[in-house]
Chain A
Amino acid sequence: MNKLRRLSFALLLAIVLASLGADFLAPAGYATQFRETPNSPPTRAHLLGTDALGRDRLARTLYGTRVSLLLAPAAALLSTLLAGMIGGFAGYVGGAWQKASMAFTDLFLSLPWLFLLITVRALLPLNVSPTASVMVTFALLGILGWAASARVVCAGAAGMRDSEFVLLARASGIGRARLLFIHILPNLKPVLLAQFWLSIPIFILAEANLGILGLGVAEPLPSWGSLLRELEDLATFSGEFWKLVPLALLVVVVTSFQFLISHNEVSA
């Protein structure tokens, strides 16, 4: 592990731990309003100041980080599982099934990702509870984000279908299901793992885009997307750098993920 990867890992770990310790580090909570001090600059009581509704910015940033950092990997896991099932099965079976599956995948890929995401997200109810909106947003990212990964997995499975060890296993009379689950899928693990890691920063950025456009996590629950909506007011920005902390955290986390995805994993 080189120095940059170590530093990225340490930064990510520190941010994850800070977000998990939000209850201790920012006991005010993300929804508590301090109505006498709205839009306050950083003070001892509020280290990052308060927002327009008088809520503690540090608490909202930490809880928002927790939401994004816990659910983006969950969405990545869902999309990787879908990619593994669709792409892996298509590559393993081959023939008409592979062609049909890849045509369906191409259909998904022919539409810009954000266009598809916004269209489908807007069709789902927007006036749901904050918890439900978190689930809907990240589930959607997982359900719609499988196509690119499925292509890679399909290519990997198709390559394995004609490999010598699979031919030998077939010649030994191993059943198709056993061949798929015991021999092919474990060998696709590096590809699936790479797709999982690659998806996390993509989903974090997608949630941020949705949040800024008002289609992400519902108030009062914070996420990086909803926290970044505050930047809309920066037309009156006058050196209030503490307002940029969520953006800085997002950039640090996404950059750390990019460094952590090693060249070997990506090319696997």
Chain B
Amino acid sequence: MLITVLVGAFLTATLIRLAPGFDADVQQLDSRLSHETVEAWRAERAQNSNIVRFYFRYLGAALHGDFGQSQTLNRPVRQLIAERLPVTARLVGWGVLLGWTLALVLAFSVSLIRWVGFRWIAVVCAGALLCIPSAVLALAFVILRAPAFLAIALVVFPKIFSITRSFLEKSYELPHIVTARAKGISELRVLLWHVLPVSGGQLIALAGVSVSLALGASIPVEALCGIAGLGQLAWQAALGRDLPLLVTLTVVVTVVTLAANMTSDIVNESLKPRAA
């Protein structure tokens, strides 16, 4: 995990350094600024021109909790991340929770209610949401003045629903479940006692993926809904080519995504039945 994070951060830093116009800054063209100020800016940017030197200096400082100064917002990166991380965590957390709840309730209902019409309605609703860009969903929630986490939930819901439904359908085809249903065991009991233990592991593995999905959706949602979270910060940093901020954001996003995947793997492993 550590190697992935370090390599990811280094690649981001290299990409930003190699981007055309890295050294240029619109502020340098401001005629009201003195020659000394412009020179000071140039010197500050020049410090980051050697990417290897920048990266190792960045890592050394990061070990002491100093992630540098944002070039566009002119504030310590650590302070910016600390302010905005809880906002995104709340947005993504509620979005993932609601998306999962909707997806599971609907997928289980489709399994229990064997009416073709209901299944079609559920599949069409989820399918339609899969075909709408997350930025359009965000715009719709701006217009409707609805909470933004609902937009995240609607991005997460259709994917989780489709995969869960597919897992459940495959589980229902297993011989022991076919036998259980043939013996007349109630549908609810079959679902809770026989189907869920089979597909539970796969569903837990999906949890990590859904966090990554929600984090990706948080960028257009926060940018368009005007929410001061990490997504909006990433957006501003990308537009301003803010090297220290983008590298730190890459590290944070990679760590969160990998941690979510690792947690779901650990939970999955701990729930697996062990041989006596």
User: What does DSSP make chain B's interface, helix, strand, loop or mixed?
Assistant: helix
Bound-complex Cα distance A119 to B231 (A): 11
Contact of A110 among B4, B134, B220, B241 (CB under 8 A): B4
For A112, what are the chain B residues with a Cβ–Cβ distance below 8 Å? Answer: 212-213, 215-216, 219, 253, 257
Within 8 A of A (CB), among B121-146: 127-128, 130-136, 139, 142-143
Pair A111/B139 contact, Cβ less than 8 Å: no
How many chain B residues sit at the interface, stated as a range, is 35 or more
- Asked whether A255 and B253 contact (CB < 8 A) given A118-B235, A122-B239, A228-B133, the answer is no
- Asked whether A123 and B235 contact (CB < 8 A) given A112-B212, A258-B127, the answer is no
Within 8 A of A (CB), among B219-276: 219-220, 223-224, 234-235, 238-239, 241, 246, 250, 253-254, 257-258, 261
Bound-complex Cα distance A21 to B177 (A): 54
Nearest chain B CB to A140 CB, angstrom units: 12
Bound-complex Cα distance A228 to B139 (A): 10
- Asked whether A111 and B217 contact (CB < 8 A) given A123-B238, A212-B224, the answer is no
For A235, what are the chain B residues with a Cβ–Cβ distance below 8 Å? Answer: 142-143
For A268, what are the chain B residues with a Cβ–Cβ distance below 8 Å? Answer: none
Pair B220/A209 contact, Cβ less than 8 Å: yes
For B238, what are the chain A residues with a Cβ–Cβ distance below 8 Å? Answer: 118-119, 121-123
Bound-complex Cα distance A119 to B142 (A): 24
Pair A213/B223 contact, Cβ less than 8 Å: yes
Within 8 A of A (CB), among B3-56: 4, 7-8, 11-12, 15-16, 19-21
Stretch at the interface among A81-89, A156-164, A246-254: A246-254
Within 8 A of B (CB), among A231-263: 231-232, 234-235, 237, 247, 250-251, 254-255, 258
Contact of B136 among A106, A110, A113, A228 (CB under 8 A): A228
Contact with A along B152-195 (1 / 0, CB 8 A): 00000000000000000000000000000000000000000000
Extra 6 A-B pairs, beta carbons < 8 Å, given A113-B216, A115-B215: A111-B257, A118-B234, A119-B250, A234-B143, A251-B132, A255-B128
Binding site for A on B (CB under 8 A): 4, 7-8, 11-12, 15-16, 19-21, 127-128, 130-136, 139, 142-143, 212-213, 215-217, 219-220, 223-224, 234-235, 238-239, 241, 246, 250, 253-254, 257-258, 261
7 nearest A-B pairs in the assembled complex, by CB-CB distance: A112-B216, A123-B19, A122-B238, A212-B135, A254-B131, A114-B216, A208-B133
